[in-house]
Amino acid sequence: MRVGDREAQALKTRLEWLRLMGVDAVRRRAGGAAPADAAVPGAAPIPANSSAPANSSAPTGSQALLGGLFGEAPGPDAEPGAGAAVGSRRARGAGAGAERSVSPLVPFLSEPARAGADPAAVLAALRDEIGDCRRCRLSEKRTTIVFGVGNPGARLMFVGEGPGADEDLQGEPFVGRAGQLLTKIIEAMGLRRADVYIANIVKCRPPENRTPLPDEVSTCGPFLFRQIAAIRPEVIVCLGTPATQTLFGSRETITKIRGIFRVIEGIRVMPTFHPAYLLRNPAAKREVWEDMKQVMAVLSPP
C-alpha cells in the first residue's frame, strides 16, 4: 500500500471513530482549515517492535484534522471550566509528580529481569505453566482459556476484566462488540491491535459475565502481573473498575479516578471506562478520548 493510501485509510479510521462519538463535522476557524496547533499530541503511529517513538517533527494532515474535529478549546456549549478540568487532569497525570500507588503488581516488577530474556519466550512459558487450568471455579464452565494477545514488546498494554461469550469461544480477548470498539479506539490512536498487548485480570469467562470474585482474582491475578512483568510496557490502560482496583490494590471506583495517571514501578497506569460501558453510555466516549490523548502524549516525542 502506498504512503498516500495508508494515510487515507488512517484518516478514514479516525473519522469513523469520531462519527461514533457524535462528531460529524470539522469546526473551521474563519479563513481556513483547522490549524496545525490543534493536532492531537502523539497521533503518529508507533512501530510495533520499536523501543523508541516514531519520529515526527510536525503533525500530519490527518492529525491536524483530528484535532480540528475534536477541538482542543471548549466550545460555546461547554460547561464553565471544562477545558481547565481537562488540562488539570493532564498536568496531574503526565507530569513528573504523577501520583504513585501501592499495588500488588509491585513485587512482580521489582524482581530483576533476566538478562536478555525474550518477552515472547517468557509469555509462552507462562502460558504452558497455566496449562488446562483448574485452579478456581471459573474453569468449571469455561470453553477456552483466554491468555492474552499482541506484541510481547508493546509499549502500551490494555487490561480488562475478563472474557465474555465471544472471547470464551475464540480464545482471544476483546473480540466481541466491546472488543470491536476497543479496536476502533486503538486504530484512532494511530496504532494496530498487533502493536499493543491486551489481557484480562482473569483468563476464564465468569458465568453470565458477572464480575470476578475476590478469590478468583487473587488466584488468576498473579498470571496477569507476570505478563506485565514480562512485557514491561511504558503505559497500561485499565478498562473499568475491576481492572483498576486489581492493579492499584484499592477499592476506588472508575468514576472517581479515571483520566488521572498513576505510576507503578515506573509504568504509567491510566484508568478509563470499559468499552462495554461506552456501548451503553455513548456520551462517555468523549471522556475516554481525552484519556487516550494523554496516553498518546506520553508515548510521543516531546
Single pTM value for the model? 0.71
Cell of 301: 516525542
CB atoms under 10 Å from CB of 258, counted, come to 22
Contact status, residue 18 vs residue 66, Cβ threshold 8 Å? yes
**What length is written for the chain?**
302
What pLDDT score does 301 carry?
74
How many domains are there within the chain? 1
Tell me how far CA of residue 46 lies from CA of 87, 118, 190, 234, 300, in angstroms. 24, 20, 7, 13, 8
Report the candidate in 267, 282, 257 with the shortest Cα–Cα distance to residue 89. Answer: 257
Contact status, residue 234 vs residue 268, Cβ threshold 8 Å? yes
Sheet holding 262-264, edge to edge: 99-100, 262-264, 267-272, 235-239, 156-160, 197-200, 149-150
- Measure the CA–CA gap between 197 and 191, rounded to whole angstroms: 11
In whole angstroms, how large is the CA radius of gyration of the chain?
19
Instruction: Render pLDDT for 8-56 as a digit per residue (tens, 0 to 9).
Output: 665 665 565 555 544 443 333 333 333 333 333 333 333 333 333 333 3
Instruction: Render pLDDT for 221-271 as a digit per residue (tens, 0 to 9).
Output: 999 999 999 999 999 999 999 999 999 999 999 999 999 999 999 999 999
Cell of 6: 495508508
Name the packing angle between helices 177-188 and 285-299 (round to 10°): 50
The more confident residue out of 4 and 239 is: 239
Judged by DSSP in three states, 239 sits in strand
End-to-end CA distance of the chain: 29
CA–CA–CA angle 245, 248, 252 (5° rounding): 50
Judged by DSSP in three states, 278 sits in helix
Instruction: Render pLDDT for 179-223 as a digit per residue (tens, 0 to 9).
Output: 999 999 999 999 999 999 999 999 999 999 999 999 999 999 999
Instruction: Render pLDDT for 54-105 as a digit per residue (tens, 0 to 9).
Output: 333 333 333 433 333 233 333 322 323 333 333 344 434 444 334 444 799 9
- Domain of 38, CATH number, reads 3.40.470.10
Contact status, residue 28 vs residue 34, Cβ threshold 8 Å? yes
Identify the domain containing residue 265 by its residue range: 1-73+80-302
What pLDDT score does 265 carry?
93
